[in-house]
Amino acid sequence: MQLMTAEILCYLVALKNMKRWVKMIRLIGGLCLVTLLGIAYVSYLCHNSLCLAPERSNLSPRYSVISSSSSSRSEILSSPTSMVKLIGGFPSKVNIESVAFEDAYDMGFDITSRDVIVFLHIQKTGGTTFGRHLVRDLNLENPCNCPRKRKRCDCFRPNTVNEQWLFSRYSTGWKCGLHADWTELTDCVEGALDEYEGSSRKRRYFFITVLRDPIHRYLSEFRHVQRGATWKSARHWCGGQEFTSLPHCYKGSNWTGVELDEFMNCSYNLAHNRQTRMLADLTLAGCYTGYNTTADQLERDRILLQSAKQNLASMAYFGLTEEQATSQYIFERTFHLDFANPFDQANATLSAQAIAELTPAQIERVRQLNSLDNELLEFARHLLQERFKMLKRRDPHFRRNWFRVIHPHKSERTTETH
């Protein structure tokens, strides 16, 4: 009898414990269900709002590019690197150290160590002239060696025979593809230099570029294409793969003789908003998948524009074609290097002539096709002026340095005596 009573008690205790476990399991299951529903709801909101962080927020880095910038700098001079990837995007596996503007100014550019200037050359922005300045006009103890009848120069570090301090068209050539963009360069540059130099090592990269008024740049590209340019050999590398099936706007070998209306009407013409596309992290928007289609175009444009602004702000330097003197001064004070010859400000260009020949409707159409570039340029102008003001405040010899930029063949003393 006692044995039976003990068995009954054990059974009742076990039953009670089982009920507790069932309640706990139900509670845990309920919490999991609520969590899953919450994730699904947030995912739905993010898909529709893109979950974009503010343009100048200072969040943890999204890019694999490591920025050496300080988190304490002012809003406009900061190096924001946060971005949420658009659904359907591609993974970025870049892992390089990129030096931002203020850090470049504070630390300087060490040509004898592991620092490399990387020039992101956007078509028809004046990059060819600027690129020549880099290899021919910098006042260096060991200037680039530019043999006659050869386009490229050898810009080797002092006391080395193959270590390049400049990655550009006129030094290394198009190692990462013809007119490689930000996505291509950040993914390629370190491997390309390792292969060129025959050894693997970490470097500090100082990314630089030049921007131009979008209407002038677009019309200049149109004229260039009209004369036969194609840039067919551009790689369009993104997300670990090359997009070789991008459609052409023309049949045959080139688009020689194209009229402006036909040029504008090609929806997949890469000339549209070219500066924004070339400065953005394209992996955020699915690379070239569905490029310039109507599906999710507003979302894609918004992401690319914000990414382009962030990447521009995180670069060590950028200049504006329309602001040559200011651009030269900023470069010289940022890198603590001087140019022997000044940047020329060209006032009359082929693009200006082309604008004079357009109807108001055509000008408005060009403006619409480059609306992202227009907004990017306004951001760039403001940022350029902020950098100029900051450098001016910190420059104890501003008057002398500025005068040398705007009047390179005159002495300040001579001017003051007359």
Q: Which residues are catalytic?
A: 179
Of 282, 286, 246, nearest in space to 266 by CA:
246
Cα atoms found within 13 Å of the Cα of residue 279, Cβ hemisphere only: 29
Alpha helices, DSSP H only, in 293-356? 297-314, 324-335, 350-356
Residues 155/165, Cβ–Cβ less than 8 Å: yes
- C-alpha closest to that of 233 among 266, 184, 190: 184
Structure tokens at 338: 């001087």
With residue 8 as reference, give the H or E element that holds it. Answer: helix 2-49
- Looking at residue 150, its amino acid is R
If you search the block for the tokens 């080139």, which residue do you land on? 254
Residues in contact with 392: Cβ distance below 8 Å, sequence separation at least 6, in sequence order: 398, 402
Encode 325-352: b = buried (16+ Cβ within 10 Å), e = exposed.
Answer: ebbbbbbbbbbebbbeebbeeeeebebe
Cβ 255 vs Cβ 249: under 8 Å: yes
CA–CA separation, 122 and 12 (whole Å): 80
Question: What one-letter code names the amino acid at 362?
Answer: Q
Please name the residues in contact with 410: beta carbons below 8 A apart, sequence gap of 6 or more: 403
Query: Is 243:287 a contact under the CB 8 Å cutoff?
Result: yes
Helix (H, G, I), strand (E, B) or coil at 121: coil
Closest to 135 (Cα-Cα) out of 316, 331, 339? 339
25-34 long-range contacts (CB < 8 A, ≥24 apart) are none
Q: Going by C-beta distance under 8 Å and a sequence separation of 6 or more, which residues neighbour residue 102?
A: 69, 70, 73, 77
Q: Whole-angstrom Cα distance, residue 388 to residue 249?
A: 41
